[in-house]
Amino acid sequence: MAGKEIVSSAFHLQTGDHISFPAEYCCSTYHHHAIVLFVRGYDLVKIIHATKKNYGLNGYEVREQDIHVDHRIKRGELVRYKYDPNKCSDPDNVVVKAKSKTGDYYFDAISHNCQHFALWCKDKTKDRGSGCWGLANCNSCDSC
């Protein structure tokens, strides 16, 4: 990863971008990571991410979701990660990889979380069948 930047407009986002924003879980705030699928408007972005299932069952899944970003942008909380294009997948492949993981997702807060999912999607050296689930294995994009 070459760095990160605060997003000042949803229209600055592009398909395949790796983003993060504050989210709450168990009375604690953390940065939730996702991949941008496309921008629907000034405040609405379609993402794909590894997240808790939303239909009352325990467990996690990879799913597509529309999120409102205007309030996060106004507070300077929406972050886009910058990558060396020679080391990471092109945007179309990022989306293909992300969508290939849609469905149930094994979650571990330390070694298999939303950030690992986003890093794996961006990583040019990982094929669609393998995973980049430990940060120690995610160094091809200088992400560690």
Q: Output the six-digit token pair for 110.
A: 């330390």
Report the distance separating Cα 28 and Cα 20, nearest Å: 16
Please report, rounded to a whole number, the percentage of residues in the chain having pLDDT higher than 70: 80
Torsion 92-39-105-88 (CA) sign? positive
DSSP conformation class of 91: H
pLDDT at 64: 97
Q: How does pLDDT run across 58-80, given as a tens digit for each residue? A: 789 999 999 999 999 999 999 99
pTM above 0.85?
Answer: no
For 26, left (φ over 0), alpha (ψ -120 to 50), or beta?
left
Q: Is the pLDDT of residue 35 over 50?
A: yes
User: CB within 8 A of 113, min separation 6: which ones?
Assistant: 33, 50, 107
23, 39, 80, 93, 135 from 28: Cα distances, Å:
8, 28, 22, 33, 22
Q: Output the six-digit token pair for 137.
A: 């294995």
Q: How does pLDDT run across 85-116, given as a tens digit for each residue? A: 888 999 999 999 999 999 998 888 888 899 99
Q: Output the six-digit token pair for 93.
A: 């492949």
pLDDT at 126: 64
